[in-house]
Structure formats: C-alpha cells, structure tokens
A and B are shown apart, each in its own frame.
Chain A
Amino acid sequence: MDAPAAPVAEAIPLVTPLNLLLASLAAYLVYLRYKPTTLPTLPPQPPPLLYKPYTPRTLQRYNGTDDPRVLLAVKGTVFDVSAGRSFYGPGGPYSIFAGRDASRGLAKGLLEEELLTSVDAPIDSLDDLTAQEREVLDGWFETFEGKYLVVGELVNEGQEEEK
C-alpha cells in the first residue's frame, strides 16, 4: 500500500462547528461571570399580631368556625391556640373552650358548658376556687404560656378603650 504523496497542507478552516461551539461556550462562561447578579430574596416575615383587649363577646368569634383563628382566655390572658387546632378547634376534644374564658373549666378539669361564664356576664373572678383548683389552673396557664402566643387580655364590656 502506497502512502499517499506528501500530505497536502490543508488550510484548517477557522470557522468550524466545533470552534463555534467552544467560542460560544467561552463567551457564555464570561457572561455568567460578569452578568449583574440579583441577591436572592426571602419571603417577608408575617406581620406581628396586635396585642389588644378582648371582651367575652368579641372573643366568641374566634372559635375556629366563624374565624379561622382559635383563641381562648385563661386567667384574663388571651392565647392564640390555632397551633393546637386539633385539640381546641371545631371537633376537637376541648373545642368547648374555643373563643371562651376557659379558666373555670380548666381549674375544675371538667368539660361542661354550664361551668363556663356566659358571654353576657361579667368576667369570672374565680374567687371561689379551692387552693387545689387554683394550682391546677396555674399549671394550665404555664403550659399555655410556654406553648402558645399571648395575643391579648380579656376585659369586661366597655373597658376596651381604657387599655
């Protein structure tokens, strides 16, 4: 087999598909390096809830049915228990307390509608509780404080403005 006569010094074309590809890749890499960057953004934090006074009547709305938030009051402090919806929300075992002053029921450990103060009556002063019941109530209060958000206080009708 004869080798072909001296190889023809073929002019290598400057523009070939491969060169074009490499050149555009290089250009793209340079572009990536110098393109203006925008800093990533995180979603803003939810706005803080307003700490405000509730009356037994205004509190009643927040039982999970009329308003998606579930609030309840213990010893004059209103807690947002929406995080424990499965307990305090509609259908939950403690749903009776939702939107109500739960102090007496928690102190006595009873889930009875009659025990809770009517929304039209003034706030329960809890004066007649026994020492043991008071202790139980304080225990509940601490649990709520540790677990849920304090969003307001329970006041009698007509006292909202003073606070």
Chain B
Amino acid sequence: MRTRLVKPGTLALMALAAGAEAGAAQASAKPVTLLNVSYDPTRELYEDFDHQFAAYWKEKTGQTVTVRQSHGGSGKQARSVIDGLQADVVTLALAYDIDQIAEKSGLLPAAWQRRLPDNSAPYTSTMVLLVRKGNPRGIRDWGDLAKPGVSVITPNPKTSGGARWNYLAAWAWALRQPGGNDASARAFVTRLYQNVPVLDAGARGATTTFVERGIGDVLIAWENEALLAIKELGPGRFEVVTPSVSILAEPPVAVVDKVAAKHGTQAVAQAYLEYLYSEAGQEIAAKHFYRPRLPAVATKYASQFPRISLVTVDEVFGGWEKANAAHFADGALFDQIYQPGR
C-alpha cells in the first residue's frame, strides 16, 4: 500500500526496506523465477494464483517473481522431478508421489508433509459423480455404478493420480456398507471396473471422453474437475451427484529443498506455498472449486460444496504406502480385476 504513494525513483530503496522488514533472505530485488511442477487439474488454479502471488510478492519485497508451470499426470511429474526436472516447488495429486521424490532422490526430507499445516495440503477436494442432464440412469450413489448396463468413465489408476482417489473412494464406500469387508469391497470394485469401457491415461482425458465423445453414463471425477467441466464445457448438460461417502483428497504441496537451495529460491518458494494458506490464496482455490481449509472462506463458499461424509486414506487404508502396495502395484488388486481366471 505504501509503495503506491512514493515516487518510482525511491522504489528500490523501499523494496529493500520492505524485504528486510519481511525477513526475506533476498535482500536485492533481483528478479527470480520459480518452477512449480504440478498435476493436470490445477492448470487454471495456478494460472490465477501465480499472477496474484507475483503481485503480492512485488508489493511485499519489491522483487519480481515469475512462476513457470509444468502440468501432467501426477506420477509422471514426480518421475520427471526424480529424473532431474528442476522444480522449486511441487504441487501434486497425492502424497505418495512426493514421498517417492523424497525416497528416490533425497531432494527433500522424508518428513516433508509435517512442514506445512493440514498435512501440507492447503486445499482439499473429493470424488463425485458427474451424470448427464436429468440423470437418466438414476445414479444416486456408488452402488449404482456396479449395476449391469451402467457405463462408467474413470481414468487408469496406474497412470493417473485422480483415478487412484476414485478407486479408493469406491472401495471405502463398499467397506462402509452393512456387512462390508475386504472381500465384498473387492467384488464391488471388480464389478464397477467391468462397467468401464475406456480407461484414459489421465483425468483430463477421461473428462473429454465423457463430455466430448458422449461415452458413458457417469464420470467419476475430482469435485473441482466436475464443477469446472460443467462451467467450461456445458452448463445445463451435466449434473453432479454427491455420493453418500467419499474420500478426502488432500493434494499436497512441498518445497523441493535441494533444488531451491541451488537456485537460491528457498524463501520465495516457502512464501509461495504459505500464500496458498492465506485468505487470498484460499479464495482463489475456492473460486477454482477446491475446498478451502480456512473456515472463513469455507463458510463463504459453503453453498458450492455439499456436505459429504469424508474418509481419509490414513483411516481406511493405513496410508498411501500401504494402499499403493495392496492395490496399485504390479500384480496387486487393481491388476487382478483384469486378469482372467485368477
């Protein structure tokens, strides 16, 4: 605010003072770039957020920050970082992918998830069902997806982070049913995937298949993707069905310490992620249909996000490491669905 009142000539001085005041490591106003390696559905969110953060950072420290974005499937992005993609921060679909970066490359400590509030997930989402207008198949809950003749679109859990959340949400619902156990959940999920005619490689591909190609009666999608698809692709053509139970998806964020240290961007990278937790950041997240953590913002956008009974991966599956080994590793439960006679 104060900077607006002074003449441009004194801006540099002011910036210096502001920088010192903010306690930021960068004393000079040398322009800096950050690389944020993210997953597919966050394109619009970060495009918006990066601009606002740059303005905020400029005002706070006088430093110009340019944030570059890379998007792709979450697993693929994690692998690229492991293989040397110079990410200052990662904002991925699931904690497992950042765990892999920590484990395979040591670029950040194994306990990275405890460094920021709320499991390092500044916003959350969940999995919902997107159906065609008027819900002609009468889809109400997960159980309807396994009925004969219903065609379900969901991406391949082997290549898509979102698809793993989909799969686990369906499994969690089945466990919650009367008499539900691992065997019944397995039978349910098997029947559900037998109703899937196309397994796209990523969440965006699946949405395109459902919306543009007109295939399937129901799309299992991130809540934010479902709401975005309705807004971008066809208001009035689709409806969101909120299932009775779903999973609390916590897309986590982290500074990649060693890369940031090499680039000298630790402070700005940290501030970038912290800004996600600020009221402004939460507001942007909510606008892009991510559930905000901050109660004030959450209340404001309450009408956008129906209340669902949400379970977490830790509660039901004992964490991502276990969930992955049991369900998605080669030869694990997901593969067995497709192995005839086994």
**Chains A and B bind each other:** no
